[in-house]
């Protein structure tokens, strides 16, 4: 069974929020971590503040050529796609700019598709891998006022189901995680009324924490979690139980 210190882990959206927390967690466990983000300045700051070393990788995951050029040579054991944006929120679907929907899909869906497209063949060739796409409860149930985000995360969930089935006999698992509201800079930037709308739907009546989410991710991508693939893990404080 592979220890974390023997693994190479690629994490997108690595300069802030969940991605940054995951980078620091796995780096502390002595994994070789490639922290991928488009924001070079924030990546540098995160590297300076990290308690353990990691490899910063500046890359725009919405561009397939850039992903191929920067990630194709990495022998990844684990890929966690944490890059994501909400786009316009707190407005009716017919009020959302079409360009905004496209922008959100490019980050949330195509970013996850491109990285998995590039890294999955190597995992299959080596007979081992863990891919986790960070989706959202919004992808399961839809959040009013969040068309682009909800639809893009639903697409991510669909992709995890397809890839999980395709990889089922290869030693590679592909899963999704559907959190409800986790207190991150992404959520902090949203209108308060939108956050209240989402939090009120959670039976626990609170947001999740980064520490809780990191622990869940670590379980899903561990070598021991080997018989679950194509699944969407719930982390919603009781909002979704299916």
Active-site entry in 94, 149, 197, 242: 149
SS3 48: helix
Q: Is 34 a catalytic residue?
A: no
Cα dihedral across residues 57, 133, 187, 203: positive or negative: negative
Question: In 3D, which of 111, 103, 63, 73 has the Cα closest to residue 86?
Answer: 103
CA angle 85, 177, 150 (to 5 degrees): 45
Cβ–Cβ contacts within 10 Å for residue 86, how many?
22
How many CA atoms lie less than 13 Å away from 65 in the CB half-sphere?
0
Show which residues are catalytic: 149
């Amino acid at each position: 069974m592979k220890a974390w210190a023997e693994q190479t882990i690629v994490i997108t959206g690595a300069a802030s929020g969940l991605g940054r927390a995951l980078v620091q967690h796995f780096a502390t466990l002595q994994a070789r971590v490639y922290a991928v983000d488009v924001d070079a300045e924030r990546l540098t700051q995160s590297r300076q503040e990290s308690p353990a070393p990691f490899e910063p990788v500046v890359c725009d995951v919405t561009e397939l050529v850039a992903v191929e050029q920067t990630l194709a040579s990495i022998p990844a054991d684990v890929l966690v796609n944490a890059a994501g944006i909400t786009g316009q929120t707190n407005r009716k679907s017919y009020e959302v700019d079409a360009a905004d929907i496209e922008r959100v899909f490019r980050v949330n869906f195509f970013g996850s598709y491109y990285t998995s497209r590039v890294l999955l063949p190597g995992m299959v060739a080596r007979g081992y891998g863990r891919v986790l796409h960070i989706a959202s409860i919004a992808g399961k149930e839809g959040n009013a006022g969040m068309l682009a985000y909800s639809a893009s995360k639903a697409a991510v969930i669909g992709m995890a189901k397809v890839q999980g089935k395709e990889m089922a006999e290869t030693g590679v698992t592909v899963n999704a995680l559907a959190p409800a509201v986790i207190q991150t800079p992404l959520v902090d930037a949203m209108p308060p009324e939108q956050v209240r709308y989402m939090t009120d739907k959670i039976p626990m009546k609170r947001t999740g924490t980064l520490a809780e989410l990191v622990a869940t991710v670590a379980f899903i991508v561990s070598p021991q979690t080997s018989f679950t693939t194509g699944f969407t893990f719930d982390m919603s404080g009781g909002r979704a139980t299916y």
